């Protein structure tokens, strides 16, 4: 059986609104294409192919609040956010509040899970495994923490033994995904001091990055390529050249 095809695109530095609009446009197009499959039969049905997408980017500084979050977890008022140069959006993904900004890889898989597997729990666990394998390249041991989403660093003797290095939040419509993950690579972690990250107030938990764990910056483009390879391996798909795609 032929592997699924995925268009990969690095959007580089982009505003959250622009990326959100672009995701929505792709998701809507994929759903419409998917619905057209219902009227196919015979060779036409066999020839049907869905065009999945994987987007990577770095956002301008922004706080996003998921649909299950509470605004009280944002600790700045409008004037303070304006002064800090940070935007704020309430959005349709799961989860609570988080930060996106330069030095962080924000990844948006827009996949039709009907062509992979229809299991949200498995989907999120697969995203976590991709990140765990990626940071292992840098000799960082990522773990899952029971009762919490995300990828964590767990060192029992550290002052903050549980440190979150990657957050996740997804939204599905007709099994087509959007939103995804935020991996802190060389991220300015001071931005997280203005929120209660993911609504977690536990004293033994904090936020970290690859840079903080290693004590030095890493090549963010190298991290992207490792992530990209691990995506293709775990979802078992092939990439399609999408270098000329534009955000419209």
pLDDT digits (tens, 9 = 90+) for 122-181: 999 999 999 999 999 999 999 999 888 899 998 766 667 899 999 999 999 999 999 999
DSSP 115: G
Q: Per-residue pLDDT averaged across 172-194, rounded?
A: 96
Q: How far apart are CA 223 and CA 209, in angstroms?
A: 12
Pairing of strands 97-100, 62-65: antiparallel
Q: Which residues pair with 149 in a beta bridge?
A: none
Beta strands in the chain (DSSP E): 4-14, 51-59, 62-65, 87-90, 97-100, 104-110, 143-145, 148-154, 162-173, 176-184, 205-207, 237-240
Q: Nearest 5°: phi and psi at 63?
A: -105, 135
* pTM for this predicted structure: 0.93
Q: What does the pLDDT look like over 46-67, one tens digit per residue?
A: 889 999 999 999 999 999 999 8
Given the structure tokens 């775990």, which residue do they identify? 234
Q: Catalytic one among 131, 153, 176, 198?
A: 198
Instruction: Show the domains of the chain with their CATH numbers.
Output: 4-37+48-240 (3.30.930.10)
Residue 198 appears among annotated catalytic residues: yes
Q: What's the count of helices (H) and strands (E) in the chain, helices before strands? A: 6, 12
Q: How far apart are CA 68 and CA 106, in angstroms?
A: 20
């Amino acid at each position: 059986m032929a592997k699924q095809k995925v268009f990969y695109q690095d959007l580089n530095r982009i505003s959250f609104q622009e990326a959100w609009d672009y995701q929505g446009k792709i998701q809507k197009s994929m759903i419409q294409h998917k619905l057209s499959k219902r009227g196919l039969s015979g060779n036409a049905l066999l020839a049907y192919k869905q065009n999945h997408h994987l987007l990577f980017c770095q956002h301008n500084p922004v706080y996003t609040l998921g649909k299950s979050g509470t605004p009280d977890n944002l600790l700045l008022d409008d004037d303070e956010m304006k002064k800090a140069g940070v935007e704020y959006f309430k959005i349709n993904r799961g989860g609570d509040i988080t930060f996106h900004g330069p030095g962080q890889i924000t990844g948006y898989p827009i996949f039709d899970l009907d062509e992979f597997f229809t299991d949200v729990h498995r989907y999120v666990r697969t995203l976590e495994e991709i990140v765990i394998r990626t940071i292992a390249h840098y000799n960082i041991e990522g773990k899952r923490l029971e009762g919490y989403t995300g990828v964590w660093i767990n060192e029992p003797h550290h002052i903050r033994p549980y440190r979150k290095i990657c957050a996740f939040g997804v939204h599905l419509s007709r099994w087509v995904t959007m939103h995804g993950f935020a991996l802190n690579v060389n991220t300015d972690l001071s931005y997280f001091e203005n929120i209660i990250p993911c609504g977690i107030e536990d004293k033994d938990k904090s936020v970290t990055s690859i840079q903080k764990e290693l004590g030095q910056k890493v090549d963010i483009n190298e991290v992207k390529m490792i992530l990209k390879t691990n995506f293709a391996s775990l979802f078992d798909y092939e990439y399609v050249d999408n270098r000329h795609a534009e955000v419209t």
